[in-house]
Chain A
Amino acid sequence: MTELLIIFVGALLVNNVVLARFLGICPFLGVSKKVETALGMGMAVIFVMTVASVVSWYVQYFILNRFGLEYLQTIAFILVIAALVQMVEMVIQKVSPVLYQSLGIFLPLITTNCAVLGIAVLSIQKEYGFLETVIFSLGSAGGFTLAMVLFAGLRERVDLGPVPASFRGTAIALVTGGLLSLAFMGFAGLVKG
């Protein structure tokens, strides 16, 4: 039980996917202009990351390892992730067209999101069991959502002020992201490894 909690908190805060591992920067910068959109994206990523990690785990241990096809790991995982993202896209387009419009190009880009692939591969590398994989990917996805929503809130506030012309837009966003990353470094040492 404690082990699982450590894995969860570690993935959520200490080794935050975006702010400590620096994976998934593309949607982090692209979808964080408004808090609502960031939250929507975060929900989509939680779903994709968790299901993809679990399915990939099964694929690794019951197909690839069984037939000695470990070298196909990257391609197989991408196949799983791509299919899942397509599914999520279709559902979102039907259920919430507004969210679909606001996410725009970033929804299919979850496929190429290194964070999703990264977490799937990391679960295998760390030789986690099934339950541990679930907790690990939930924690990582939660951390991703947390970082995005915090960042979106910061960006909304920063844009209200008189940002110098040369810093407006992406520049000040990157500076803010760096500062947020520094803040999260404060969690280092909370959980070992």
Chain B
Amino acid sequence: MLSAILTLGLMGLLAAVALGLAARKFAVETDPRELALVEVMPGANCGACGYPGCGGFAKALLEGKAMASDCSPGGKEVAERVAHILGVEAVAPEPEVAVVLCQGDNQKARVKYLYQGLRDCVAAQALAQGPKECPGGCLGLGTCARVCPFGAIEMTAEGLAVISRRKCTGCRKCVGACPRKVIAMTPLHAEVHVLCNSHDKGAAVRKYCDIGCIACHICAKTSPGAYRIDNFLARVDYEARQSPLEAVPKCPTRCIRDFTQGYPEGSRFAPPVVPLHAKDAAPSP
């Protein structure tokens, strides 16, 4: 018994001394906070913060290059925890979601040619500016859906991209991937959007799309201040006090959508119930 204890004990001691010396010789400086930071992050490595993965974000935070609120998928919760570790004030970011500003699927919008090739929007756009007549509309080949790290984008059977307001974390990967720039970041609280991305005049839009904005100004007249018409395309002013809801049923082409009533036609997402993200909800009175 004693010999066993002594033998193992001595071997262990020898190994410990050797390792101790080696540790000193091969020492690598690491900040202990780095590990703690990576622990509190979502771990999706989506790159929304602009740094390579959660590890990269942690390094950038410690170097002072990044802000605690840069992680949009993490939202308020992660921003607070990160700030706590770093010992700084947390500033909650304005939550945003991505919206595809188009409802022109292959039933509603015309094509200028039959496309044969890679089912990729960037590749299709390279051929004569894309198969759709509309220069700004969604091509429906699914590049954004493939790029979304959270599985928040679905392609309808008729070739339209729709983004789930529940699953979207605001990482902006889809915005960068879309060659038509038809996806826009909008504040989470905004439920009404004009789903059109074409700046062509009304007569031209009518020729190639049944559900595009023709800049008739009816929305701006019905809800003054809530809509801005810019270069033949209406847009909801998200900062306006006036509610845009009244104009929704008045739009002649039905291009304005109230998302509390449902997603665009063909989508399988259930209508969102307010509040959308529990973690960002204001505490109930």
Chain A residues within 8 Å of B, Cβ to Cβ: 59, 63-64, 67-69, 72, 75-76, 79-80, 82-83, 86-87, 90-91, 93-94, 97
Contact = CB atoms under 8 A, between A and B. Distances in A.
21 contacts: A63-B7, A63-B11, A69-B4, A72-B4, A76-B11, A79-B11, A79-B15, A80-B15, A82-B15, A83-B15, A83-B18, A83-B19, A86-B19, A87-B18, A87-B19, A87-B22, A90-B22, A90-B26, A93-B26, A94-B26, A94-B28
Interface string B100-132: 000000000000000000000000000000000
B15 A72 contact: no
Interface residues of B, number: 14
Nearest to A91: B26
B53 to A, nearest CB: 10
Contacts of B22: 86-87, 90-91
User: Per DSSP, are chain B's interface residues mostly helix, strand or loop, or mixed?
Assistant: helix
Contacts of A90: 22-23, 26
Q: Classify the secondary structure of A's interface with B.
A: helix
B28 A69 contact: no
B12 A69 contact: no
Interface in B1-20: 3-4, 7-8, 11-12, 15, 18-19
Interface of B: 3-4, 7-8, 11-12, 15, 18-19, 22-23, 26-28
B3 A67 contact: yes
Contact of A72 (B8, B19, B26): B8
A90 B19 CA distance: 9
A181 B27 CA distance: 41
A64 B179 CA distance: 70
Q: Which one of B7, B12, B23 has the highest number of Cβ atoms from chain A below 10 Å of its Cβ?
A: B7
Nearest to B18: A83
Q: Which of A63, A75, A90, A94 has the most CB of B within 10 A?
A: A90
A69 B7 contact: yes
A47 to B, nearest CB: 14
A67 B7 contact: yes
A32 B167 CA distance: 32
